[in-house]
Amino acid sequence: MGRSYGLLIAFAVLIAGLLLAFTVGRYPVSLGDLLHLVIAKLTGRSPDVPAAVQNVIWLVRGPRVLAAALVGAALAVAGTAFQGLFRNPLVSPDLLGASSGAALGAVLGIYFSLGVLEIEALAFAGGLVAVGAVYLIGSAMSPRDPVLVLVLTGVVIGALLGAGVGLLKYMADPYNQLPAMTFWLLGSLAATNVTDLVPLFGPVALGTLVLLALRWRMNVMALPDEEARALGVPTTALRIAIVAAATLVTSASVATAGIVGWVGLVVPHIARTLVGPDFARLIPAAALLGGGFLLLIDTLARTMTATEIPLGILTALVGTPFFIWLLASVSKTWA
């Protein structure tokens, strides 16, 4: 595939996702009105569009659309980083416990009937603490294969956190708390508003910038550890930096949207088939595609049926057949 066109295709997917997400819905907005509004906003003129349409675009759909694009981009970028770091194309951003830690934090918040902001903060902190614990335990064993031990520790801690989530669900009030927990664990952007965007954008932008800055070293980190060190890369320090950046990004998005699986696993593969494995192009491509993909999914989630469908369910429903098709048709280019 023409790799120079890959980024253009990824960009087109994001634009298509944005247009679709802004125009489709219970209150359809025409493409013309949308363009009018955006141009008017950019040039500072007062738009020639009904006030209701303006409200739908700026207040109702705007925050949700931005959040979907950011969360999708974040999960895809984190998945890309982890797949490179762990030299395994089957790895997703929750490998080291970022999602299960966040899940425990959020479920704990719901169990103690905290406010939305506190629940999000607990989810964010839960992700960071879980990955930090995995990293400390994994490196305390001073293993010969640090990467493998890290993965195993992640799996074990993930199981422990999963047990914690299960226990809280079991003890929760089945009429108020349990549905909230279930809803959160399946992922949704339905409740997104403007105040969610800053705590989402900050960590996502910071983590992504760190990963982008390290893009060449990340290529070298995809080699066996000793080889990367022989090439002059301080692998221990870099591993910490990459894990920290990817965890920051993942925790922020999980805190906003709940657990949205599949994006961080599938999108990096699509990006790799489009632009190849060089992280300099792979990270931007994954960010664009991930944003576009989750916009599409979120649009489906709120328009397919009268009630919203949880994101995690749709990403799996759409992601699985697509992934199988991908494996069957183009697997040779990345394995």
Partner 1 sequence: MILSGHDLTIGYGDRVVGRHLDVALSTGEVLALLGPNGGGKTTLLKTLLGLLAPQSGEVRLGDRPLNGYSSRERARLLAYVPQSHVVIFAFTVETVVLMGRTAHGNLFSRPTAADRAIAARMLERFGIAHLRERPYTMISGGERQLVLLARALAQEPQFIVLDEPTASLDFGNQGKVMREIRTLAASGHGVLFTTHDPNHAMRAADRAYLLREGVRIGEGITGAILGRLQLEALYGAPVELISDTNNGRTAFLPG
Residue 239 near residue 85, CB atoms below 8 Å: yes
Residue among 64, 93, 104, 217 that touches partner 1 (CB under 8 A): 217
Which lies closer to partner 1 via its Cβ, residue 169 or residue 215? 215
H or E element that contains 296: helix 279-303
Dist. CA 112–CA 119, nearest whole Å: 10
Residue among 49, 190, 222, 244 that touches partner 1 (CB under 8 A): 222
- The residue with tokens 């549905």 is 179
- Using CA atoms, how far residue 19 sits from 16, 35, 149, 320, 331, in Å, is 5, 10, 44, 25, 31
Dist. CA 211–CA 206, nearest whole Å: 9
In the window 264-283, what residues touch partner 1 (CB under 8 A)? Answer: 272, 276-278, 280
Residue among 31, 136, 171, 213 that touches partner 1 (CB under 8 A): 213
- Which one of 19-27, 49-57, 82-90, 242-250 is the stretch in contact with partner 1 (CB under 8 A)? 82-90
- Which one of 128-136, 156-164, 231-239, 259-267 is the stretch in contact with partner 1 (CB under 8 A)? 231-239
149 contacts partner 1 (rule: CB under 8 A): no
The region, left, alpha or beta by phi > 0 then psi within -120 to 50, assigned to residue 232 is left
Q: How far is the CB of 74 from partner 1 (least distance, A)?
A: 21
Residue among 231, 240, 304, 327 that touches partner 1 (CB under 8 A): 231
239 contacts partner 1 (rule: CB under 8 A): no
Residue 245 near residue 81, CB atoms below 8 Å: yes
Dist. CA 93–CA 71, nearest whole Å: 12
Q: Which residues bind partner 1 (CB under 8 A)?
A: 84, 87-89, 142, 144, 213-217, 219-220, 222-224, 226-227, 229-234, 272, 276-278, 280, 333-335
